[in-house]
Structure 1
Amino acid sequence: MREPNHDRLNELVGRLVNDLGSAMSGASVLLGDRLGLYKAMADGEVMTSAELAKKTGLHERYVREWLSGQAAAGYIDYHPEKNAFSLSPEQAMAFAIEDSPAFFAGAFDVVQSAYLDEPKVAEAFRTGKGVGWHEHSKCLFSGTERFFRPGYNANLVPSWIPAIDGIEAKLKAGAKVADVGCGHGASTIVMAKAYPNSQFFGFDYHMPSIERAKKLASEAGVSERATFAQATAKDFPADGYDLVAFFDCLHDMGDPVGAGKHVKEALSKDGVWMIVEPFAHDELKDNLNPVGRVYYGASTFICTPASLSQEVALGLGAQAGERRLRKVVTDAGFSHFRRATETPFNMVFEARA
C-alpha cells in the first residue's frame, strides 16, 4: 500500500464525515416534509418535541430524535434554555413554504430516486445501455417538479422571458407557446398564469406526467389556456408557435439535434426557441464546485442514462456547457444563438432561424 499523506487523509475523512451526515440528513428532510413537521413549525413558534408531536399527531420519541438531528444539521434552531426548537424565517422558506424561491425539500425526492434506482444505473454502466426517464422511481417525477418550480416562480416571468428579445410583448398581446418536455407542467402553468391572453401547449412523452400536469393546471385555474398532450420532442405538432421552450430537458434527449430540427419546423416565421439548461462552464475544471457536484451527480444517475436509452444517444449530460449546446443548435439549422441571461443554477439561451 502506498504511504498516505496523513494531513490530506484527515482532511478527506473530515469531508466524508460531513457528507455522511448530509446523506443521513437528506433522509430526515424527506421524513419532515412528508410527515408535515416543517409545515407545523412554519410560523416560527418555539416548540418542545411533545408540543410538536401533539400538533402533528406523531409519536413524541420519534419527533424528539428527528428534531435533534435537524438541529445538528443546522436545518432548525435549538433553544437550550427551553429544550425546544423553532424554524427561522429562512429555514421556513427552505423547508416549509412550497412557493418560496428557496424551497429545497423537493430536491431530496430526486436524491431518493438515485438511491432507489442505483441497481438499474449500475447495470447500465456494465452494458452501456440507458435507463429511460419512465423507468425511474416515481419520486423522481414529483421531486423534479418540486425542485425546479421555485426557480421558475422566481425567474421565468420576472427575468428569463424579458431577456428574450421581443417575446414578452407577444405573450402579453397573445401568443402561441409550446413547452416541450414539460413534465408536471410547472413551467407551463407559471407562464399561463402570467400571460392570460396567450395559449400554452405542454408536451411530454411520459403519460403519467401529462396526467399530473392536467390536474395541476385545473387546480391553478388555467386549464382553458394550458393544455397538455403526450408527444416527443421530435413529433409534437408543428403548429407555428411564437415560442417553443425547453426547460432543463434538452441535455436529456438522445437526439437533441433532431429535436432542434423539429423545433425549427414548428416555429412561426419570426418565432423563438428558448432553451433553459443547468448552469455549466465549458471546461470540466471550472465545474468542480458545489453546483457542478450536484449536477454531475444528477447527470450520472438520471440525465446521461436517459439520453443513452434513446436513438442517437448523444449523451450531452447536465454539464454540457454553452459551447456544446451552441453546436447542437447550429447543427439543427439555427443561425442565431445567444446566452440571454443566467442564474447560479441555469443558463437561458435564445435561438432563431
Structure 2
Amino acid sequence: MTTLDEPVVTTDPTTTTGDDQAAVAERMVQVLNDGAINVLGSIGHQLGLFDVLTTLPWATSAQVADAAGLTERYVREWLGGVVTAGWVEYEPQGRLYRISPDHAPFLTGTGVDNIARTMGLITLMGQVTPQVIETFRTGGGLRYSDYPGFHDAQAADSAAVNDASLVETIVPLTGIVDRLRAGIDVADIGCGEGHAVNLLAREFPNSRFWGFDFSPEALVPARAEAAAWGLTNATFVDCDVAGEAQESSYDLVTAFDAIHDQAHPATVLANIHRSLRPGGTFLMVDIKASSHLEDNLDLPWASFLYAVSTVHCMSVSLGQGGDGLGTVWGTELATQMLHEAGFSDVEQHDLEADPFNAYFVARR
C-alpha cells in the first residue's frame, strides 16, 4: 500500500528495455527538431512570409523573397526548413514552393487559429533564458522591462480571442449586457495594451471604462488606439493594483490573464472585491489547467504553460518580491482564492473557442 512518504511512479526504472530507450531517443530528437521548427515558425510570422505565401500559387524562392521584400538567400534556407517540417510543399523540378492548404489556417492571419503568432513567445523566452538561469542560483526574478516585445506578443494573442469572442460570447457570461448598454462603471485590471477595454468602450458607449496597468510602455498603444477610435469613455491609468483599492467604485471589474503573475494575487483579488459596488460582478479570465501536477499530465500544452511560468509569469512576480504564484496556479486554487477574497458566488465557464482559458464570473 502506498503511503504519503512513498511517491507514486508510473514506470519501474529497473525494467527499462532497449525498445523503451529507443523510443525515448526518438522522442528527444523530435523535441530538438520541433524546437527548431518553432523558431522557423516565429521567423515566418514576424516577417510575414506565411501570409505572403498565401498570395502566391507555386513560386520560386526569389519570387517569395521579392514579394516579402527580403533577401533571397535567407528566404530559400528558411523555405528548406518549413518544407521539411511539412508546412510548405516543394516541387523539385521547377524549385517551386507553396504553403500547404491544410497548414495555412494555423500559420496565417490575425484569427485565433494562428499558432505561428504564439510561437514568438518561445523565441522571447530564449532571449531571457540566461537571466532566468541566474535566478535559479540567486532567487528573485526578472522585471517586465527584461522582456522586450512581450507585451506586443501577448497583446496580439489576446486580441485574436477578444476580437472574435469578447462582445458576442465572453461579456454575456456576466449577465449584465443590458446594464452595460444603459451605462455603468467598469475597470480592467492589468489591461496591458488595452485592446479589450477599447473594444468594450466602443461597443458600450454609455458606460465608462478604466484600464489599470503598472507598465507605462503598455499604455502608450492603449491610449493611441482609443484616440484613433475616437473613444471618450476609455481612460488608462498607470498604477499598481495591489495598492489601496477604491471602495465601491465599479459595477464590473475584468481581468484577462492578469491575476496569476501579480506580485500578491490574493491582495489584488481582495482589492477587486472591495472596489465593486454591492451586487457588482468580477469577470476573471485565466489559464485553464489543474492546480495538481498529476492532473495536467494529459493536457497537450502543459509543458508550454510550465515553461512560460518558469521563464516569465512566476519570475516577474518573484522579481517584485511577490508570491510567485505561477501560470499554472490552476482552476481549483483560483476558485478557492476568489472565495477567500470575499466572493460567495463563483461560476466557471469554458469556451470552445478558447481552450487555453477558464472564465470565472464572481459576484459581490
TM-score (norm 2): 0.87
Compared CA separation, residues 306 and 137, structure 1 to 2 (3 A): closer
1:147 and 2:165 correspond: no
- Given that residues 163 and 341 in structure 1 are in contact (C-alpha distance below 8 angstroms), is that contact kept between their aligned partners in structure 2? no
User: Which string of whole-angstrom CA distances, capped at 9 and with x for unpartnered residues, describes residues 55-109 of structure 1?
Assistant: 22322222122112112223333345643222355544333312x1212333233
Compared CA separation, residues 276 and 20, structure 1 to 2 (3 A): same
The residue aligned with 2:138 is 127
Residue type of the alignment partner of 1:16: M
Mean Cα deviation higher: 230-239 or 254-263: 230-239
Give, in whole Å, the separation in 2 of the partners of 1:280 and 1:20: 26
What SS does the corresponding residue of 2:260 show, helix, strand or coil? helix
- Given that residues 248 and 278 in structure 2 are in contact (C-alpha distance below 8 angstroms), is that contact kept between their aligned partners in structure 1? no
State the shift of 1:295 in Å: 0.8
Compared CA separation, residues 200 and 82, structure 1 to 2 (3 A): farther
The residue aligned with 2:232 is 224
Residue type of the alignment partner of 2:109: I
2:184 corresponds, among 162, 169, 175, to 175
Indicate the percent of aligned positions where both proteins have the same amino acid: 31
1:21 corresponds, among 27, 33, 36, to 33
- Given that residues 44 and 88 in structure 1 are in contact (C-alpha distance below 8 angstroms), is that contact kept between their aligned partners in structure 2? no
State the shift of 1:128 in Å: 2.2
- Given that residues 202 and 231 in structure 2 are in contact (C-alpha distance below 8 angstroms), is that contact kept between their aligned partners in structure 1? no
Larger Rg: 2
State the shift of 1:285 in Å: 1.6
1:333 and 2:345 correspond: no
State the shift of 1:340 in Å: 2.9
Compared CA separation, residues 224 and 74, structure 1 to 2 (3 A): farther
State the shift of 1:204 in Å: 0.6
What SS does the corresponding residue of 1:41 show, helix, strand or coil? helix
The residue aligned with 1:323 is 332
User: Which string of whole-angstrom CA distances, capped at 9 and with x for unpartnered residues, describes residues 235-274 of structure 1?
Assistant: 3655622211111111111211111121122112221111
1:195 and 2:204 correspond: yes
The residue aligned with 2:126 is 115
Give, in whole Å, the separation in 1 of the partners of 2:33 and 2:320: 36
Give, in whole Å, the separation in 2 of the partners of 1:88 and 1:218: 40
Compared CA separation, residues 329 and 22, structure 1 to 2 (3 A): same
Give, in whole Å, the separation in 1 of the partners of 2:142 and 2:158: 21
- Given that residues 112 and 157 in structure 2 are in contact (C-alpha distance below 8 angstroms), is that contact kept between their aligned partners in structure 1? no
Residue type of the alignment partner of 1:247: F
State the shift of 1:43 in Å: 2.6
1:299 corresponds, among 303, 309, 329, to 309
State the shift of 1:4 in Å: 5.7
State the shift of 1:147 in Å: 2.2
The residue aligned with 1:102 is 113
Give, in whole Å, the separation in 2 of the partners of 1:292 and 1:191: 31
Give, in whole Å, the separation in 2 of the partners of 1:12 and 1:192: 52
State the shift of 1:138 in Å: 0.9
Residue type of the alignment partner of 1:120: Q
What SS does the corresponding residue of 1:303 show, helix, strand or coil? helix
What SS does the corresponding residue of 1:108 show, helix, strand or coil? helix
Point out where structure 1 has 5 or more consecutive residues left out of the alignment: none
- Given that residues 109 and 139 in structure 1 are in contact (C-alpha distance below 8 angstroms), is that contact kept between their aligned partners in structure 2? no
The residue aligned with 1:282 is 291
2:96 corresponds, among 84, 90, 95, to 84
1:207 and 2:219 correspond: no
TM-score (norm 1): 0.90
1:242 and 2:248 correspond: no
- Given that residues 104 and 147 in structure 1 are in contact (C-alpha distance below 8 angstroms), is that contact kept between their aligned partners in structure 2? no
User: Which string of whole-angstrom CA distances, capped at 9 and with x for unpartnered residues, describes residues 14-72 of structure 1?
Assistant: 22222222221222223222333222223352212121122223222221221121122
The residue aligned with 2:362 is 351
Give, in whole Å, the separation in 1 of the partners of 2:15 and 2:114: 45
How many residue pairs match? The answer is 348
Give, in whole Å, the separation in 2 of the partners of 1:225 and 1:85: 49
Give, in whole Å, the separation in 2 of the partners of 1:278 and 1:251: 8
Give, in whole Å, the separation in 2 of the partners of 1:250 and 1:298: 15
1:43 and 2:55 correspond: yes
User: Which string of whole-angstrom CA distances, capped at 9 and with x for unpartnered residues, describes residues 312-337 of structure 1?
Assistant: x3322211122211221122122221
